[in-house]
């Protein structure tokens, strides 16, 4: 399938770092999660779709953007997942999520740990003002630089992990607590993570 990219703007803190902000500004397709349109409008950036249960939109905004609003009332999923599903339905398969952290810590944690479920269907990553969260479902190499701060999150504690070219190496090790894989460091221009299990989430600072 041909790669089609989109940026999803979640309704957390609007990005201020140039890396996620420039990706947002240059995107050919911006999908807003519900009330995030308020922040996008303030930044003078055009949305291509607004997706969610619309509980954060005023009536004026609903009228203004009625042609690009996609209402999903299902409360079994959050607005970020609704936006991801909209992208899938519209053949977007390379997704960058921004604005998904900040403001509410519980939403932030939930958004991060939804990433593995998305990556089984598409290429996806989440950019914050400080770094990138990348969900993976198979072993792989990561581009890096010497001294880059790296953390490994293992949603399933039975996953067996081996790393190469990180300061604190793992060898056939399980991360039974979420904090155990944090605060590592790259030793070169790449590192590798091999694992046997369902998924991992890798954080790399910019």
| pLDDT at residue 200, as a whole number | 97
Q: Is the pLDDT of residue 22 over 80?
A: yes
Mean pLDDT of 114-127: 95
| pLDDT at residue 103, as a whole number | 81
Sign of CA dihedral 67, 73, 74, 76: positive
Mean pLDDT of 153-166: 97
Classify 61 in phi/psi space as left (phi over 0), alpha (psi -120 to 50) or beta.
alpha
Q: Which two tokens stand for residue 162?
A: 């081996």
Q: What is the pLDDT of residues 30-77, one digit of tens each?
A: 999 988 998 998 999 999 999 988 777 778 888 888 899 988 877 677
Question: Nearest-CA neighbor of 100 among 79, 72, 117?
Answer: 79
Q: Looking at per-residue confidence, does 61 or 139 come out higher?
A: 139
Residue bearing tokens 């990138």 = 132
Classify 146 as helix, strand or coil: coil
Strands (E) across 80-139 are located at 94-98, 123-127, 131-136
Confidence of residue 3 (pLDDT cuts 50, 70, 90): confident
Chain centroid to CA 143: 18
CA atoms within 13 A on the CB side of 43: 17
Tell me phi and psi for residue 110, to 5 degrees: -60, -45
| pLDDT at residue 57, as a whole number | 77
**pTM confidence score:** 0.93
Mean pLDDT of the chain: 93
Confidence of residue 136 (pLDDT cuts 50, 70, 90): very high
Q: Is the pLDDT of residue 2 over 70?
A: yes
Question: Nearest-CA neighbor of 109 among 157, 40, 155, 54?
Answer: 155
CA distance 170 to 193: 9
How many Å from the N-terminal Cα to the C-terminal Cα in the chain? 30
Mean pLDDT of 146-164: 97
Q: Is the pLDDT of residue 104 over 70?
A: yes
What are the Cα distances from residue 123, in Å, to 9, 24, 118, 142, 154? Answer: 16, 17, 8, 15, 19
| pLDDT at residue 1, as a whole number | 63
Q: Is the pLDDT of residue 177 over 90?
A: yes
């Amino acid at each position: 399938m041909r790669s089609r990219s989109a940026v999803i703007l979640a309704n957390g803190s609007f990005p201020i770092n140039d890396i996620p902000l420039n990706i947002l500004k240059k995107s050919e397709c911006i999908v807003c999660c519900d009330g995030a349109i308020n922040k996008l409008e303030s930044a003078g950036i055009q949305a291509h779709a607004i997706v969610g249960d619309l509980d954060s939109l005023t009536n004026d905004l609903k009228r203004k953007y009625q042609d690009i609003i996609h209402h999903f009332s299902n409360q079994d999923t959050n607005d970020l997942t609704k936006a991801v599903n909209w992208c899938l339905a519209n053949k977007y398969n390379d997704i960058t999520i921004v604005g998904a952290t900040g403001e509410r810590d519980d939403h932030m944690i939930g958004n991060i740990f939804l990433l593995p479920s998305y990556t089984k269907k598409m290429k996806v990553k989440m950019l914050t003002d400080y770094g990138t969260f990348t969900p993976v479902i198979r072993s792989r190499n990561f581009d890096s630089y010497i001294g880059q701060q790296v953390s490994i999150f293992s949603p399933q504690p039975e996953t067996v992990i081996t790393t190469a070219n990180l300061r604190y190496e793992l060898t056939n090790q399980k991360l039974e607590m979420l904090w155990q894989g944090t605060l590592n460091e790259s030793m070169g221009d790449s590192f590798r993570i091999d694992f046997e299990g369902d998924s991992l989430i890798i954080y790399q600072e910019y």
